[in-house]
Amino acid sequence: MSDVYLGGTGLACVLGDDVPSVLASLQRGGVLPTPVAVAEGIHWPVYALAPSEGDWTQRLCRTVCNVASQTGDWGARTVPLFVASSSLDIGFMEHEKQDLRLGGDLQDFAGVVARALDWQGPVFTVSTACTSALNAVLAAAELIRSEDADQALVIGIELDNRFTVAGFGAMQLLAPDRAQPFGAQRKGLVLGEAVAALRLTSRPARWQVAGGANVVDGRNPSGTEATAVHAMCRGALAQSGLQPGDIDLIKVQAAGSPVNDAIEVEALKQVFDPLPPLVSLKSAIGHTLGAAGAAELALLVGCIEGGVWPSVDYPLDASLGIALSKEAPQKLRNILLNVVGFGGGHASLVLKDAGP
Amino acid sequence: MSAWHTTAHFIAHPPPVDWRDDLARRIGRRPRRVGLWTELAMYGARCCLDAAGEAALPAGARIRVASQRGAWGATHAGLTQLDAGLPMPFTFMQSQPALMLAEVGRCLEWWGDASFALCRDAARTLQLAKLGAARDGLLFGIVEEERHGEPPRTEWWRLVPA
């Protein structure tokens, strides 16, 4: 059995095209979402990637190559590649004529990504809505633990498409202005675009992927279930050989939903007593759906290593009885990252600082 | 765990004419607001578990589903609705693999580790599904809607470590 480490990260999101530019933007106070029209007279805010030249596929390939290159040199590129996405290539399909749409299959998107990277190894697609990237990390970690691979690349991708925005809008899950996780005036989630890459490796590095858990609870397909939050946290802790008191920071789901944010807090309080410091990243980059697990992990590690921390410029909901940390905790050994999503998906990952 | 035992293998390709009635009888209700792809998955998963002689999937088991085309019909319908400026919430939901996993879990009276993954090499998808699985094993399915004359398919395996 091999241990699994995070050997490198890459990120492009609303804040910038790489981790240094993302952190610089965060330090300046971040950026606001931009309105996206999904139908006549219907607009929703989205934390979008900066506009760039080319068609949808060209932008995909360019962004993926940029983000993957941030994780270092991959040599012959024969190790497994995991492409995690909720919307896959639906943004491309929107621009196709109706009778040409969906002529291929669900693996075509990962095939385009692999060709852009000149990837020679096995290519997997993972699509479980908002938990896609964390599930890809869990699967890649199992390959490395079992010594079937010594490295793997996980890429979470959510690019521009009206289909997803319109779908979430039709489900009445979106806020009309901006994301306010745990906010007193929170009105729903705000979607975001991102491409994030995680290099997982058996070679020791500072951050160890100590364990994780995935729990699907279909009783409430668009909501958070307290028992599933308990199960994902406890499962991730058990696989990591940790107790609740060992966790020094929780990266919360907190998408800004009036109901789900409250359920998440109550469920976390039932597992962690007292609650460790909490950090939320969705007010900075939005909810990047299938990319969220990779994008928020890359951003959080970047913040810790870069000495930058997301600010909260809106009042929190006092009834929740929580605070969001204003800086990185001084003692920061074990971090729990939680992602909860559409379809009853709940996933947790424990990241351990294995440094001296 | 390198050795696995297949306790049940169920295949419907195509499903029988009355498969929807059969599903309703097996789970005690008619699925509501789910798409064809999800319903096919529910039918195959439930039949496979029945063939294995298990009333419910054990909590420690995991579910893995693969599909080349996924919820093709719902996705196509959703794009058409988008073109018309009338996106409908249930059509969008039906296009999502995550909703299929939720409904399959519900019809097996189960919640736990479920995921949707695929690879051009189907053997690798199954190999990945087995890695790290617990003693309760795995319920693995391949589900496809009808397309270009190819009949719908729902094929499932109940696998446990030997």
pLDDT at B87: 78
Same domain, A42 and A168: yes
Same domain, A13 and A44: yes
Q: CA of A149 to nearest chain B CA: how many angstroms apart? A: 11
Same domain, A274 and A164: no
**Chain B residues with CB inside 8 Å of A98's CB?**
79-80, 83
What's the rounded Cα separation, in Å, for the pair A329 and A103? 50
Q: What is the mean pLDDT of residues A11-19?
A: 98
| CATH number of the domain that residue A123 is part of | 3.40.47.10
The percent of residues in chain B predicted with pLDDT above 90, rounded, is 89
Tell me the sheet residues that pair with B147.
Answer: B150
Substitution target in B76, B82, B108 with the highest count of A β-carbons within 10 Å is: B82
pLDDT digits (tens, 9 = 90+) for A226-254: 999 999 999 999 999 999 999 999 999 99
pLDDT at A96: 78
Of B105, B115, B125, the CB nearest to A128: B115
Q: What is the mean pLDDT of residues A32-58?
A: 94
pLDDT at B1: 58
Q: Where does a domain end: A201, A220, A254?
A: A201
pLDDT at A100: 66
Test A221 with B89 for CB contact under 8 angstroms: no
What's the rounded Cα separation, in Å, for the pair A31 and A246? 34
Same domain, A182 and A238: no
pLDDT at A261: 97
What's the rounded Cα separation, in Å, for the pair B96 and B103? 11
Test A216 with B83 for CB contact under 8 angstroms: no
**Chain B residues with CB inside 8 Å of A341's CB?**
98
Q: Could you tell me if A126 and A153 are in contact, meaning their C-beta atoms sit under 8 angstroms apart?
A: no
> Parallel, antiparallel, or unpaired for β A191-192 and A278-279?
unpaired
A97: pLDDT strictly greater than 80: no
Of A101, A122, A130, the CB nearest to B124: A122
Q: How many domains does chain A have?
A: 2
pLDDT digits (tens, 9 = 90+) for B116-146: 999 999 999 999 999 989 999 999 999 999 9
Domain span at A243: 207-353
Using alpha carbons, list the distances in angstroms from residue B159 to B9, B41, B103. Answer: 9, 17, 21
Same domain, A156 and A240: no
Same domain, A192 and A217: no
What's the rounded Cα separation, in Å, for the pair A271 and A115? 44
pLDDT at A356: 73
**Chain A residues with CB inside 8 Å of B119's CB?**
107, 122-125
Compute the C-alpha angle A313/A184/A166, nearest 5°. Answer: 90
Which ipTM score applies to this complex? 0.96
**Chain B residues with CB inside 8 Å of A105's CB?**
68-69
pLDDT at A156: 98
Nearest CA to A83 out of A53, A117, A50, A51 is that of: A117
pLDDT at A222: 76
Same domain, A269 and A151: no
The percent of residues in chain A predicted with pLDDT above 70, rounded, is 99
Same domain, A87 and A103: yes
pLDDT digits (tens, 9 = 90+) for A124-134: 999 999 999 99
pLDDT digits (tens, 9 = 90+) for A75-85: 999 999 999 99
Using alpha carbons, list the distances in angstroms from residue A160 to A50, A192, A341. Answer: 11, 9, 19
Buried b (16+ CB within 10 A) or exposed e, A221-253: bbbbbeebbbbbbebbbebbebebeebbbbbbb
Same domain, A220 and A185: no
Using alpha carbons, list the distances in angstroms from residue A195 to A89, A181, A215, B83, B129. Answer: 13, 22, 24, 26, 25
Test B87 with A343 for CB contact under 8 angstroms: no
Q: Which residue has the tokens 């890429």?
A: A155
Q: CA of A214 to nearest chain B CA: how many angstroms apart? A: 5
Test B93 with A171 for CB contact under 8 angstroms: yes
Same domain, A27 and A83: yes
If DSSP codes are grouped into helix, strand and coil, which group holds residue A220?
A: coil
The percent of residues in chain A predicted with pLDDT above 90, rounded, is 93
Substitution target in A88, A113, A127 with the highest count of B β-carbons within 10 Å is: A127
Nearest residue of chain A to residue B132 (CA atoms): A142
pLDDT at A99: 66
* Tokens linked to B23: 């599903």
**DSSP state string for B32-66:** -S--HHHHHHHHHHHHHHHHTT-SS--TT-EEEEE
Test B79 with A214 for CB contact under 8 angstroms: no
**DSSP state string for A161-211:** -HHHHHHHHHTT-B-SS---TTBTT--SB-EE-EEEEEEEESS--SEEEEE
Q: Where does a domain end: A167, A201, A235?
A: A201
Q: Where does a domain end: A171, A201, A231?
A: A201
Test A218 with B80 for CB contact under 8 angstroms: no
**Chain A residues with CB inside 8 Å of B72's CB?**
102
Average pLDDT along chain B: 95
**Chain B residues with CB inside 8 Å of A102's CB?**
69, 72, 75-76, 79
* Tokens linked to A254: 């907190």
Same domain, A196 and A289: no
Nearest residue of chain B to residue A348 (CA atoms): B113
Q: Which helix (H) or strand (E) holds B115?
A: strand B113-119
- Domains present along chain B, CATH in parentheses: 9-161 (3.40.47.10)
What is the reported pTM?
0.97
* Tokens linked to B93: 């939901």
> Parallel, antiparallel, or unpaired for β A249-251 and A334-341?
parallel
**Chain A residues with CB inside 8 Å of B68's CB?**
105-107
Amino acid symbol at A284:
A
Same domain, A348 and A261: yes
Test A169 with B87 for CB contact under 8 angstroms: yes
